[in-house]
Amino acid sequence: MSSLIFGPITSRRFGQSLGIDLSPENKQCNFDCLYCELKGAKTVQKVSQAPLVEEIIDELKEALLKYENIDVITITANGEPTLYPDLAHLVDEILKIKKEHKLLILSNGSTIDQPEIQSILSKLDIVKLSLDCVNPTCFKKLDRAHKGIDIAKIIEGMKEFRAHYRGELVIEILVVEGLNDSEVEFQALNAVLQEIKPDRIDVGTIDRPPAYAVKGVSIERLIELSHFLENLHVTIAYKKNYIPTRRHFCKEEIVALLKRRPQSFEDIALCFDEESLKNLNALVDENVLHVKSIAGVNFYKVS
């Protein structure tokens, strides 16, 4: 059996993360997304060759003793972690030993319409679900889901889950050129996200070799598309070597910008020139703006 624990990994969105792989031997997923960094594979409805809960907990205990300064324990998989057959038991056992660490799951959202999955995930501190498309045609082409999985049911499941979940809900959108990179698709996403009301939305694109012959979009295009997500906490994923053209914003422009949509610290640093940053800090000192932290990411908001 391969190691079940990987980490620590530094993430700009969640801090130091210790990962748990529920499918260490091979990809087991009910999606075969075009952009997946894992080799394409036939979709499955359930996981086989699953590691035992006891094995996972033993390795996790050792890892927590070995690694310091861990912020988050992340449940993930070479595939979809909610297909793991003993997920409820595993979560309960992790909760007994996690102490101050937050517990996060990275899921494609495919099972969120199931009441038992909602019940399990409601115990976690952070739940991150994918929602690349809301249009059924786009969803079918891009995420290539197992037969019977319906994007409408996923969306309704997300709404139901949000209604009772008291932790931090993060939605991830992965943008692929020619598939979900249109204004129409993002307007449709915005309409749905206004109803789901996630705490944060992460918008990114392909930055590793994908399983199939598809391409990502530019950072500039990600920023353009993110403007269609109104009054939501959005972060933009970008490569570390990206050098943007920084703009000048007066105080009035900053307030108007943040009224439309809160901006993360990193996105501000990406776009604001030096004088604009001074204006921003002055607005914070004047209590016109305040800072809100969501799932480890700090945002500027209008007070």
Are 204 and 173 within 8 A, CB to CB? yes
Where b means 16+ CB within 10 Å and e means fewer, 263-272 reads bbebbbebbb
**Residue-level pLDDT at 208:** 82
Phi, psi (rounded to 5 degrees) for 291: -110, 135
Handedness of CA 188, 13, 296, 281 (dihedral sign): negative
**Residue-level pLDDT at 5:** 76
Alpha helices in 128-214 (DSSP H): 136-143, 151-164, 183-196
pLDDT tens for the chain, 303 residues: list them. Answer: 456 877 666 666 677 889 999 998 889 999 999 999 888 889 999 888 889 999 999 999 999 998 888 899 999 988 999 999 999 999 999 999 998 999 999 999 999 999 999 999 999 999 999 999 999 999 999 999 999 999 999 999 999 999 999 999 999 999 999 999 999 999 999 999 999 999 999 999 998 889 899 999 998 899 999 999 999 999 988 765 555 678 889 999 999 889 888 888 888 887 899 999 999 999 999 999 999 988 888 999 998
Question: How is 271-287 classified by DSSP, letter by letter?
Answer: HB-HHHHHHHHHHHHTT
Output the furthest CA–CA distance in the chain (Å, rounded). Answer: 58
Arch. (CATH architecture) of 246-303:
Orthogonal Bundle (1.10)
User: Which residues, 6 or more positions from 215, have their beta carbon under 8 angstroms from its beta carbon?
Assistant: 176, 177, 178, 206
pTM (two decimals): 0.87
Q: State yes or no: cis peptide before 8, omega within 30 of 0.
A: yes
**Residue-level pLDDT at 1:** 44
Alpha helices in the chain (DSSP H): 53-66, 87-97, 115-121, 136-143, 151-164, 183-196, 219-226, 251-260, 265-271, 274-285
**Residue-level pLDDT at 246:** 81
Tokens describing residue 176: 């692929």
Hey, where are the domains in the chain? 5-242, 246-303
Phi, psi (rounded to 5 degrees) for 12: -70, -10
The domain defined by 5-242 folds into TIM Barrel (3.20.20)
